Amino acid sequence: MADPSPPILLRRGALPPGPQSAQGSNSAIVESPTGSRILLLGPARTAVSGVSTHINQLFGSPLATRFELTQFQVGSEGRMEGPVRTALRLITSPVTFAVCLIRLRPRIVHINTSFEPKGYWRDLAYLVLARLMRRRIVYQIHGGALPGEFFSGNATLTSLLRRVLSWPDAVVLLAASEVAAYGAFAPGARLIRIANAIQLYDADVSVTRYAGTRPLEVVYVGRLAVNKGILDIIEAVRILRDKDIEVRLTIAGSGAARQEIIQAVASGGLGDRVRVVGAVFGEAKQRLWQQSDVFAFPTYHHEGLPYALLEAMCGGAVPVAAPAGAIPDVMQDGVHGLFVPPRDPQALAAVLERLAGDRTFLHALAAAGRARIMSQYSVGRLAEEFRALYDSLA
């Protein structure tokens, strides 16, 4: 029988080769050679996902000098397996996890999940096992539906969810709006907001970068999914083309909607204004941000805190985004970027037209946005907040 593809255990510094890399930090945590073991649950660190990026950042931060970080790999992201191997993994994974808890005896189990049905039910098994084995539990939710909506119409499952949220020692959320919603739903849960962060890098946000009469450079970077609003961005470019307003769009990423996106570009006759490239990483991604004026993100997905938003603002690309998830925590409308309603290409086109015609305003937004990220969203801040949380569970 084929190998069931069991979860992979990775110790600190053991990042497999792949597109993702561990992130550094801009502040120091005092090293503790007798630090406690933390078991992080999440997808492969080589997978292209926000949760993988988060786990890489924790492994690459000063947390790895204070605590012994180990990963227990869950989920299908980053794996090459067929239906049989997937079924075997789902069956054997909880048993493997229980053996891992017995063998490694971690003080804290840090579960990274999202409120999507498949991820919730899968990770619930790990939560139950960790609780039965009396481990301290950090349950971090990376976006998805709000709890009151998750089992809408099913009173039994909604009651179960309320009880489940009281089991972890801490429930970590990304957005202030989530803290309010979870607090109202499960008053007994210990809720903590720890926002995502990025490795900071140098970027030019001088007046000269945004001045001139050249076309407005718009970019989308991320998963290619219709609910990210990508088709609406393409339609906005078509609207502006018909008004003789010069806008160029670059779409970078991979995903199931790639062919639909390419077809929309062709149908709109936008081949000279829109290019669809593959996924970009590292320095190539940083260059793309710095070659762009605007990051368009009119999403109607259940967002947490998109890394692309933080990276764009750090690189000087002004976000034009729907106010979903934690996005309003990061950017203030008219100060760091501009909000647009989702599913409204006309409104998006109007905002892009405004920025194309007012490069002074464009520059002011870019400079303020970069300053916001530099002061509030470094990996150093992320590491310090998780250090305090882990220490509180001693």
What are the distances in angstroms from CA 94 to CA 122, 130, 329? 9, 10, 36
Q: What is the pLDDT of residue 13?
A: 47
Give the separation between CA 307 and CA 214, rounded to whole angstroms.
28
Q: What is the pLDDT of residue 20?
A: 35
What are the distances in angstroms from CA 8 to CA 35, 75, 90, 132, 332? 22, 11, 14, 22, 41
For the entire predicted model, the pTM comes to 0.87
CB under 8 A, 24+ apart: contacts of 255-259? 255/223, 255/224, 255/225, 256/224, 256/225, 257/224, 257/225, 257/226, 257/230, 258/224
Q: Is the dihedral of CA 39, 43, 46, 49 positive or negative?
A: negative
Give residues with Cβ within 8 angstroms of 336, minimum separation 6: 313, 318, 319, 330, 365, 368, 369, 372
Q: What is the pLDDT of residue 394?
A: 76
- Whether the CB-CB separation of 129 and 111 falls below 8 Å is answered with no
Dihedral, CA atoms, 113, 117, 122, 123, nearest 10 degrees? 30
- Whether the CB-CB separation of 253 and 221 falls below 8 Å is answered with yes
Q: What is the pLDDT of residue 92?
A: 84
Tens of pLDDT along the chain (394 residues) come to 333 334 445 555 444 433 333 333 333 333 443 348 999 999 999 887 889 999 999 999 999 999 999 999 997 655 565 776 767 767 889 999 999 999 999 999 999 999 999 899 999 999 999 999 999 999 999 999 999 999 988 999 999 999 999 999 999 999 999 999 999 999 999 999 999 999 999 999 999 999 988 999 999 999 999 999 999 999 999 999 999 999 999 999 999 999 999 999 999 999 999 999 999 999 999 999 999 999 999 999 999 999 999 999 999 999 999 999 999 999 999 999 999 999 999 999 999 999 999 999 999 999 999 999 999 999 999 999 999 999 999 7
What are the distances in angstroms from CA 293 to CA 39, 137, 284? 40, 42, 16
Give residues with Cβ within 8 angstroms of 198, minimum separation 6: 23, 57, 307, 310, 311, 314, 373, 377, 378, 379
Residue 369: which region, alpha, beta or left (left: phi > 0; alpha: psi -120 to 50)? alpha
* Beta-bridge mates of residue 191: 171
DSSP 69-115: EEEEE-SSTT----HHHHHHHHHHHHHHHHHHHHHH--SEEEEEEEE
Domains of the chain: 9-199+378-392 (3.40.50.2000), 207-376 (3.40.50.2000)
The structure tokens listed for 282 are: 């590292």
- Whether the CB-CB separation of 325 and 143 falls below 8 Å is answered with yes
DSSP 149-186: HHTTT-HHHHHHHHHHTTSSSEEEES-HHHHHHHHHH-
- Whether the CB-CB separation of 131 and 99 falls below 8 Å is answered with no
Q: What is the pLDDT of residue 48?
A: 76
pLDDT digits (tens, 9 = 90+) for 321-350: 999 999 999 999 999 999 999 999 999 999
pLDDT digits (tens, 9 = 90+) for 161-189: 999 999 999 999 999 999 999 999 999 99
The structure tokens listed for 361 are: 């305003």
Q: What is the pLDDT of residue 101?
A: 97
Q: What is the pLDDT of residue 18?
A: 39
